[in-house]
Amino acid sequence: MKRSIGSGSVGALRSLGALIGMSVALGACSVTEQEVVATVPSDYRLRHPIAVEEADRAIVIFVGSERGGLSDAQRADVVGLARRWVHDGTGAVIADVPVGTPNARAAASTFREIRSLLAAGGVPPRGIILRKYRPDDPAFLPPIRLSYPRIMAIAGPCGEWPADLGPSIMDPGYGENRPYYNFGCATQRNLAAMIDNPADLEQPRSETPPYTMRRNAAFEKYRKGESTTTNYPETDKAKLSDTGK
């Protein structure tokens, strides 16, 4: 015998379903998404860190069309490049020499002198690589470019302005006293350019041997009871006044 469901039971089921749907909707409203906003560090050393990388050091030698060879200033530049390569070079010296240009013959003659100067400065023959190139403009007098890789300290690039300097509602740090993004970049870049040995950023240098001759002379004066200071009589000749004596 089948039993039918009354209208009251149907109404109760509908009310129960409505309550369940409302609870689900309210529960869904309680779940919020957390938006993560990337902030720029306030410390300029974190915004523009100094990195140790391998980069090229290069010089340019301009060559005319009627005369080959190096001038005195260019010869000094090549000798200085060879000296620096012995000190910090990590790869071969690349010589980019132009061909098919009005100064191609003069450039070839100049490169022979450059190669002899590099060899005399300590660069082995296998450490000099000739790389010929043809410029886009055949009438242009392209230079000879000498480059070699070395470990360098680099910071930047500078001149990036991702946000307005003034107040802006688009700035997530609106109303806060924060430095602008490019602040301190030039200082970091200049400091990186002045570092001679990038290893100084990571560790101190080992102590060098003392100058024993000067130390023994000072100890001998101390043993005799004499003053260990050094006298510079020529300094008195440049004084304009005897005030303070």
The pLDDT tens digits for 26-70 are 554 444 444 444 456 788 999 999 999 999 999 999 999 988 899
Residue 9 inside a domain? The answer is no
75-93: pLDDT as tens digits? 999 999 999 999 999 999 9
User: Is residue 212 pLDDT above 80, yes or no?
Assistant: yes
Residue 186 domain-assigned? no
pLDDT value for 144: 96
Residue 48 lies in a domain: no
Across the strands, what pairs with 93? Answer: 128
How far apart (Å, rounded) are the C-alpha atoms in residues 107 and 229? 57
* Those residues with Cβ within 8 angstroms of residue 110's Cβ, 6 or more apart along the chain or in another chain: 61, 63, 68, 69, 70, 144
Among residues 126, 132, 44, the alpha carbon closest in space to that of 91 is found at 126
Weakest mean pLDDT among 20-24, 75-79, 148-152: 20-24
* Residue numbers of the domain that contains 88: 56-151
| Bridge partner list, 147 | 58, 94
Q: What gap in Å lies between CA 89 and CA 56, rounded to an integer?
A: 9
Tokens coding 45: 């050393």
* Structural domains in the chain (count): 1
pLDDT given for residue 138 in this prediction: 73
CATH of residue 98's domain is 3.30.1330.60
Residue 219 domain-assigned? Answer: no
Distances (CA, A) of 60 to 7, 70, 90, 114, 165: 98, 12, 20, 12, 39
* pLDDT(227) > 80: yes
Whether 86 and 122 have beta carbons less than 8 Å apart is answered as yes
Domain assignment present for 244 = no
Helix, strand, coil percent values for the chain (each to nearest 5): 40, 15, 45
Per-residue confidence at 12, pLDDT binned at 50, 70, 90?
low
Quick check: is 89 in a domain?
A: yes
In the 8-state DSSP scheme, what is residue 64?
A: -
Q: What does the pLDDT read at residue 36? A: 40
> Is position 212 within any domain?
no
8 A C-beta contact, residue 143 and residue 162? no
Specify the DSSP class assigned to residue 136. Answer: S
What pLDDT does residue 143 have? 95
Structural domain includes residue 126: yes
Question: Tokens 């100067």 map to which residue?
Answer: 117
Mean pLDDT score of the chain: 82
Is the model's pLDDT at 140 over the cut of 90?
no
Residue 207 has pLDDT above 70, yes or no: yes
